[in-house]
Chains A and B, each alone.
Chain A
């Protein structure tokens, strides 16, 4: 009887059933899509983190980044400055201009250095399973031609003296309008890592594409491992030579990010001790990668590390995930904020619709339920009938909602939006600060270099190319969003649909249980 009655009610009162089911379906579909997309965003954030920090990194320890403008002690004030004395470069005998090539390797402003004793102390913290220290560096290369300032000055004095056209041909302006100088400034990121290898750290998330990985015997050697995409962009191959900090390194291996389309943490990897020596950071590291012995201990390990290593920043994966910015960060915020609220509101609306329709249904069927009670139906049977109808309506809505939700997820995955994640503490401000600093450095350098030669117009190239700098220096990673479908999401959706039906059914059933059987005798329907 229960099933027959229920089926008849659902099919013969189709309008009400459809409205309740549609409301529930919408809500469930939204919950599924939001849930799945937010899981996808989380996966993407994890991929970004993994590509930068490596597999198995639970915690990182860094020195807080300094505010722009404050110089670091490692290189003294005026970091990023290229100094060209009168004798720098090779003089071209015919024109007197100089070919200048300078390569500088220095620590990054967003990754200040600390003594490597911090690593030993970190390893001594209980709950730390493994720890590795790396040195984050930027290699900037200045490549170009400077005019023969001596000749320029003479030419000018000649003109002033005679008032006539110069007898010696003055150097023609270069591409940058700076009077005979032309140059390029480029940079790439360099990571000094322990060649003996470690299970934790940036290289643990990479796969060897070509050549070999570092071994213990690489300590002190001028060998480098390159990111595959960087090597391709820089037109470098295995066994080629790359100049890092003015020193030639042999490329012994190429690595690419495993499991995702992301690039790896750095453009170039070199043995830690070599990086320390070349950048003037002997005995210094910039980041410590820590693996906790158990995933449950991470919070305690973090606290212990903070105690052991004061004046450092200790970040867990969760802390780090919140530093992923860029379109990935926006997507994360959108899903977490708007998506969650929207699905909550629609869910509440769907529940409300189900409850109101059930109540109005019970009210409309007062005489019907009164009659059933009058002919001997127990309260429980009547309540069960009302609740059963609501739960089944909710379930139908849930099933439709799951179907719609899965289609929604399919659409998301077919569109496969590419999200770009930028990592770093307060990444935007940091990048802007770095941009400003590099621009300022280039300006100072240009003006300084020119005045050294006595040439006043040299400031023209201020700010040239810092955009390129910044983009390369920031750890930006592209990840394709893939919204996963988990059994959990489906179960939660079904659970919510049943819950909605149960709430509506309980309220409707409560109303029905309070109906007096004598209501059957009311003459008006």
Chain B
């Protein structure tokens, strides 16, 4: 699914240059469940941004299937994100003024579906994460675990090939963490997704097929 070749990402902040990723070469096959671990500031989120077409590397090449993310213009990257990539965030990142159902629908907006179909698919996605009866609730009216379920529904409603999650359980208690991980793992298995999860939590990492470790921008395979 992914092929990264000599990917380096540097941030220039005032006079300092921070190298967040250093010469990363990595391949992630289709349908793999990968966990990325590492200390704070190691470059986990930066790597996820490369995979998620949110940013371009300073040098090197990122291929999603055959698409060179490092070379595509912004407009194409946005289209790619809209169709192929689902995102789940640590802080859920739901739109506070929109209901659960409408939040899920935001992921379908760029696809130009008819209103009724979009609403229907959003309702189905919510049902698949166990929130069929919460569609009209605002995020503030939902628990953290429920909000993350809405976010997962939003990530998956477009039926992407890749799901990227940055500390999806970081804001949740242990019990809820396990529920969310069960849900993600189930989705991964049922849909044949490529799932990349950034996590601090070894209980989460343990479920992955493959574990990567990032330290000071350098990636290595963990045992």
Asked whether A and B interact, the reply is: yes
Report which A residues bind B (CB closer than 8 A).
1-2, 4-5, 8-9, 12-13, 367-368, 371-379, 381, 516-518, 520-521, 523, 525
Q: Are A5 and B102 touching (Cβ within 8 A)?
A: yes
Q: Which residues of A contact B83 (CB under 8 A)?
A: 376
Q: Which residues of A contact B52 (CB under 8 A)?
A: 374
Known: A5-B98, A375-B107, A523-B90. A518 touches B54 (CB 8 A): yes
Query: For residue A371, which residue of chain B has the nearest CB?
Result: B93
Q: Are B93 and A520 touching (Cβ within 8 A)?
A: yes
Of B48, B91, B93, B107, which contacts A376 at CB under 8 A? B107
Q: Are B78 and A373 touching (Cβ within 8 A)?
A: yes
- Residue total for B at the interface (Cβ-Cβ under 8 A): 40
Give Cα distance in the complex from A8 to B167, angstroms. Answer: 29
Q: Which residues of A contact B74 (CB under 8 A)?
A: 379
Query: For residue A376, which residue of chain B has the nearest CB?
Result: B82
Q: Are B95 and A368 touching (Cβ within 8 A)?
A: yes
B15 contacts the other chain (CB 8 A) = no
B75 to chain A, nearest CB (A): 6
Known: A372-B106, A373-B78. A520 touches B98 (CB 8 A): no
Number of A-B contacts (CB under 8 A): 96
Known: A373-B78, A517-B54. A8 touches B89 (CB 8 A): no
B61 contacts the other chain (CB 8 A) = no
Q: Are B96 and A12 touching (Cβ within 8 A)?
A: yes
Q: Are B90 and A374 touching (Cβ within 8 A)?
A: no
Q: Which residues of B contact A13 (CB under 8 A)?
A: 97
B67 to chain A, nearest CB (A): 14
Q: Which residues of B contact A9 (CB under 8 A)?
A: 97
Give Cα distance in the complex from A11 to B158, angstroms. Answer: 28
Give Cα distance in the complex from A367 to B48, angstroms. Answer: 17
Query: For residue A373, which residue of chain B has the nearest CB?
Result: B78
Instruction: A5-B97, A516-B55, A520-B93 are known; give 13 further A-B pairs, CB within 8 A.
Output: A1-B102, A1-B109, A8-B97, A368-B95, A371-B93, A373-B78, A375-B82, A375-B87, A375-B154, A376-B107, A377-B106, A381-B109, A517-B54
B128 contacts the other chain (CB 8 A) = no
Q: Which residues of A contact B166 (CB under 8 A)?
A: 521
Q: Are A521 and B89 touching (Cβ within 8 A)?
A: yes
B86 to chain A, nearest CB (A): 8
Q: Are A525 and B91 touching (Cβ within 8 A)?
A: yes
B97 to chain A, nearest CB (A): 4
B130 contacts the other chain (CB 8 A) = no
B192 contacts the other chain (CB 8 A) = no
Q: Which residues of B contact A374 (CB under 8 A)?
A: 52, 54, 81, 87
Q: Which residues of A contact B154 (CB under 8 A)?
A: 375
Give Cα distance in the complex from A518 to B93, angstroms. Answer: 12
Please name the 6 residue pairs, one residue from A and one from B, whose CB atoms are nearest each other, closest first. Answer: A376-B82, A12-B97, A1-B109, A371-B93, A376-B81, A8-B97
Known: A377-B110, A520-B93. A1 touches B105 (CB 8 A): yes
B6 contacts the other chain (CB 8 A) = no
Main secondary structure of the interface of A (DSSP, over half): helix
Q: Are A4 and B78 touching (Cβ within 8 A)?
A: no
Q: Are A376 and B54 touching (Cβ within 8 A)?
A: no
Q: Which residues of B contact A5 (CB under 8 A)?
A: 95, 97-98, 102, 106
Give Cα distance in the complex from A209 to B98, angstroms. Answer: 72
Most chain B beta-carbon contacts within 10 A, residue among A5, A371, A523:
A371
Q: In residues 37-92 of chain B, which contact A (Cβ within 8 Å)?
A: 45, 48-49, 52, 54-55, 74-75, 78-83, 85-87, 89-91
Contact with A along B113-149 (1 / 0, CB 8 A): 0000010000000000000000000100000000000
A358 to chain B, nearest CB (A): 16
Q: Are A521 and B78 touching (Cβ within 8 A)?
A: no
Give Cα distance in the complex from A4 to B138, angstroms. Answer: 14
Q: Are B81 and A521 touching (Cβ within 8 A)?
A: no
Contact with A along B156-168 (1 / 0, CB 8 A): 0010000000110
Q: Which residues of B contact A523 (CB under 8 A)?
A: 90-91, 167
Of B86, B102, B109, which contacts A8 at CB under 8 A? B102
Q: Which residues of A contact B48 (CB under 8 A)?
A: 521
Known: A371-B89, A375-B154, A378-B75. A4 touches B49 (CB 8 A): no
Give Cα distance in the complex from A516 to B95, angstroms. Answer: 17
Query: For residue B110, which residue of chain A has the nearest CB?
Result: A376
B155 contacts the other chain (CB 8 A) = yes
Of B49, B107, B158, which contacts A521 at CB under 8 A? B49
Query: For residue A518, which residue of chain B has the nearest CB?
Result: B54
Give Cα distance in the complex from A4 to B106, angstroms. Answer: 10
Q: Are A378 and B78 touching (Cβ within 8 A)?
A: yes
Q: Which residues of A contact B80 (CB under 8 A)?
A: 376
Q: Which residues of A contact B79 (CB under 8 A)?
A: 376, 378
Q: Which residues of A contact B85 (CB under 8 A)?
A: 376
Most chain A beta-carbon contacts within 10 A, residue among B85, B106, B155:
B106
Give Cα distance in the complex from A94 to B49, angstroms. Answer: 124
Give Cα distance in the complex from A523 to B106, angstroms. Answer: 21
Q: Are A520 and B89 touching (Cβ within 8 A)?
A: yes
B164 to chain A, nearest CB (A): 9
Query: For residue B93, which residue of chain A has the nearest CB?
Result: A371
Task: Show 30 A/B contacts (Cβ-Cβ < 8 Å), sorted by A.
Answer: A1-B108, A2-B109, A4-B102, A8-B99, A12-B96, A12-B97, A367-B91, A371-B89, A374-B54, A374-B87, A375-B86, A375-B87, A375-B107, A375-B155, A376-B81, A376-B83, A377-B109, A379-B75, A379-B78, A516-B54, A517-B54, A517-B81, A518-B55, A520-B54, A520-B87, A520-B89, A521-B45, A521-B49, A523-B167, A525-B91
Q: Are A4 and B87 touching (Cβ within 8 A)?
A: no
Of A375, A518, A520, A525, which contacts B106 at CB under 8 A? A375
Q: Are A1 and B106 touching (Cβ within 8 A)?
A: yes
B168 to chain A, nearest CB (A): 12
Give Cα distance in the complex from A197 to B200, angstroms. Answer: 102
Give Cα distance in the complex from A374 to B91, angstroms. Answer: 14
Give Cα distance in the complex from A16 to B192, angstroms. Answer: 45
Query: For residue A7, which residue of chain B has the nearest CB?
Result: B97
B221 to chain A, nearest CB (A): 24
Q: Are B98 and A376 touching (Cβ within 8 A)?
A: no
Query: For residue A524, which residue of chain B has the nearest CB?
Result: B91
A321 to chain B, nearest CB (A): 54
Query: For residue A367, which residue of chain B has the nearest CB?
Result: B93
Q: Are B78 and A377 touching (Cβ within 8 A)?
A: yes
